[in-house]
Each structure stands twice: as structure tokens, then as C-alpha cells.
Amino acid sequence: MTILKNSKALYINGEWMSTDQLEAVLNPATEAVLGEAPVGTAAHVEAAISAAHEAFHKGPWPRLQQRERQAKMTEFLDAIERRAPEIVQLIVAEAGATQMLAQYLQYGIPMQHARHMVEISSRPAITPLPVETTPNAEGSITLGAGVLAREPAGVVSAITPYNFPFFLNVGKIVPAMVVGCTVILKPSPFTPFEALILGEIAEEVGLPKGVLNIVTGGIEVGTALTTDPRIDLVSFTGSDKVGAMIQAQGAPTLKRVLLELGGKSAMIVRPDANIMAAAQNGLMGFTVHCGQGCALLTRHVVHNSIRAEYVAAVKGMLAHVKVGDPSDASVGMGPLIREVARKRTEDYVQIALDQGATLVSGGKRPAGLDKGFFHEPTLFDNVHNSHRIAQEEVFGPIGVVIGYDTDEEAIDIANDSDFGLSGAVFSADVGRAYEIALQLRTGGVAINGGGGKMSSHAPFGGIKRSGYGREYGIEGLNEFTNIKTISFKGG
């Protein structure tokens, strides 16, 4: 495939900045080298921070009328759409996503979100406060009023992972930029091209210098983006362990930090549930993108009266999941991102067996796939919620089934987790499912499969070790703003 025109340079201050440090980027399905990507250094990140800081404090972008920013961001998204086939092909090759996943969830949904963010950014930035009267020292009455004014938060560092790179790149930079922030985007070293292509598009549409900067690199670059006092806000998606480090790194400068972290989300299947619908949802909960999704439903909390039937249904469906190179449109599950991820999955298979779980299906590398970082979709039954496989995020294609006898027990099991990102309830009694959903300590719950897609109106995020802050919807847009109160006297 054709790699980007500027695939060996970094996009900083509206220009392409070269580097002598290059790193091979692999296709995780074939282990072939897609191309060499630039590796940013301390000098690159300093240039990017300086450019973003100058663009925010001195440049035109934050001072434009909102309709002007909307027009430019619409132009930016239109330019992305013109390169959609190329981007989808890149998602398949670089992230290992299947064709359907790349087209629909990895590309289509974030573009819907982005369009929605641009549209709703026209919401009033000034909100009137109630008018109040107060007796004053002169013996008359003061008429007091005020407004809440929303303004851009400042310079944003956006740090994204390898699992949904285009989705998260667009999901962070668009709302930040459309409200007037300037951004430094740092992608995962495994998936840099899905970020760098956005630099080409920014150049094409003529975004003002310094509004969007893209810097790759390792720990040195990441640390600068979470500690430098010129950074006002850090938006990070990744593991809870790295999220905790970022929170600590931002603490000395009292940065605002938005964290969308890991998950070990529970799907409760009540005895009156449609078992086939629940099983289909459960199957997707650990096979979508080879289990590399923070919000995936990997704990299946199933009523004991139907547990055997549920396990048999999921096992039967697993037999039809084709694992292989996602360049083949018939493939239903692609590879893990790298060997370290596959080794982690294999380790957890052994941990589950050692702790007494029953292997229902999978558990090993698929036969006949000698190249690529593949692992069979794997299901365990007879899992106790205290088992490591039920408590720790694998980020691989492993689902676990945990039995229960009462609704209260199911709720307790679901809530007995360090994480709280998503969840689900399957039941014919939708009212009871809703009552259960209200009791789950998590950022979101889908009843009987939810609304059919990830809504652009709905805020997304978690609690506990799944992080804090929200993305998407009006709440996600406002995360990139500060509130200023202005008071004045009437008359």
C-alpha cells in the first residue's frame, strides 16, 4: 500500500520537520514492514509545545468567531472524507482491524462523532445567570446580573493508543480544536501513520500554524507532554497503570487531566433473557478487534439456570469465527497488535487454568497462521469473580462466564471490580433491567444490546480505575473549555 507523502517527518507548526530517527511499523497480521515512521525527540516536542503555545496565546484560532472555526473544521472533515478509502486501508494494515470493523466502527463512527461535535459547538458560549436584587449601603437596591462564559481550555496534549487509533485521534483533536484549543497529538509508536495523515490534511486545508501538531516518540516525548507547564490539559486513552502515572506527572503543574482507561465490564444475563441475542453480544464482547477494546464486555455474569445453554450457544458461535489476515473481507477476527500482547494473552490462559477455570474453547495459537500475532478466541466457564482472569484486563480475546442465582448477587459481582467503564443487562423484563442498570457502578450500560450504535449524543467515559472525564456529546465538548463568571450591575 502507499504510505503517506510525509511519512518520515513530523507535523509541527504547519510544517514538516524531519528526523534522523526512524522506526519500522509492522502489519500485525503479516509481520511485514508497512514503512518507516519518524521518532520524535526532545527537540521535536519542544518545538511542538512552543508552536501550540504561541498559536493559542498569540494566534488567530482562539479569537475566531465560532462559525469561522466550524467552517474550517468542516473543511478539515471533508478533506478526511475524500481520503476515506486510503484511511480504511491504513486502519486494516496498521491496527489489524477487520474490513467491517475498520469501515464502520474505526472510521465511520468517529467521523459521525466529529461532525456532531462541530455542529453542537455553536451552542451558546455565554449563558445568562439569574438577575438578583440586593439592598445596598445607600439605602437603595442593587440590580445584579452576570453570565457564565465558556472559553477554550488552552494547549491540549492528546495521547492515543494503538487499538482504535484513527477513532481516538479524531475524537480528541476535533472537539479540542473546534472550541479554540491548540493541540499536540502523540500516537502510539505502533500506529503512527493514522495520526500523521491528519497532518497532511491539516496542511491541505490550511489550518493556522501551531493549531495541530503531531509528534511521535517514546517516554521522553510523552513525559514532556504531561509535565510541561505550557500544557493546560492532557487527554489520554490507555491503561490504568499509565493513566495513574500521567495523573501524577500532571500534579505539580495542576493540569487538568482527562483519562479514559481500562475496563473489565460485566454483562448480566437474567434467566428470562433471549439467550441467542445475549450469546451474540457476549461473543462480540471478546472477539471484536481481538479483544483489544477497553469497553468490551469480557465478564459474562449468567444466571445458573441458563448458564450451560448460554455457554453452549457462545461455543457454537465461536466455531464460525474466522481468524486471519483482515485484508480478507471474510475474516471475522484479526491479530493482536504485537507479540507482547499475544504473550500476555497466553499467560492469562495459563493463569485461568491454574486457578480452576474450565476452558470451553480456544486457548492457543490458531493452526496454519505462522506469521502474524494471532490467538484463538477463548472462552472460560466456572470462573469465580475473584479469579485474576475476572479482575484483570487482558486486552486480548478472552471471555469468562460467571454464574449467579439472584439479581442482587449479579449486581454485586458486576460492581466487584476496580474498573467501571461499561456494562450490559439482558432480560425480557426491561423495567427490571433498567433498575439493575441504575445500580451498576459504571460509566454506561446497554440494555438488550443498547440503541444499535454508539450515539454521538451520549457522553462516554468511566469511573474508578476506568478514569474520569467524558468524551463525545455536549459533556465531551465542554471538557475542553473553562468557565468564567462575569458579574455586573444593572442600570
Where in the sequence numbering do the catalytic residues fall? 260
Q: Are 70 and 180 within 8 A, CB to CB?
A: no
Q: Are 225 and 234 within 8 A, CB to CB?
A: yes
DSSP reduced 3-state for 441: coil
- Largest pairwise CA distance in the chain: 90
Alpha helices in 364-453 (DSSP H): 388-391, 407-415, 430-439
Q: Grid cell 493540569 — which residue?
A: 255
User: What stretches of 79-181 adopt beta strand conformation (E)?
Assistant: 126-128, 132-135, 141-152, 155-159
Q: Are 236 and 159 within 8 A, CB to CB?
A: yes
**How big is the chain, counted in residues?**
491
Positive or negative, the Cα torsion across 413, 377, 382, 275?
Answer: positive
* Residues 6+ positions from 186 with CB-CB distance below 8 Å: 40, 157, 158, 159, 160, 195, 214, 215, 216, 217, 221, 222, 225
Q: Burial letters for 275-314: b for 16+ Cβ neighbours within 10 Å, e otherwise?
A: beebbebbbbbbbbbbbbbbbbbbbbbbbeebbeebbebb
* Residues 6+ positions from 104 with CB-CB distance below 8 Å: none
Positive or negative, the Cα torsion across 249, 264, 386, 334?
Answer: negative
Report how far residue 403's alpha carbon sits from residue 271's, in angstroms, rounded to the nearest whole number.
11
DSSP reduced 3-state for 78: helix
Q: Grid cell 505502533 — which residue?
A: 190
Which residues, in sequence order, are bridge partners of residue 154?
Answer: none
Report how far residue 429's alpha carbon sits from residue 188's, in angstroms, rounded to the nearest whole number.
43
How far, CA to CA in Å, does 69 sit from each of 103, 126, 174, 208, 402? 27, 17, 11, 11, 50
Phi, psi (rounded to 5 degrees) for 468: -155, 165
How far, CA to CA in Å, does 270 sit from each of 282, 298, 310, 409, 420? 13, 17, 11, 11, 20
Local structure of residue 357 (DSSP, 8 states): P
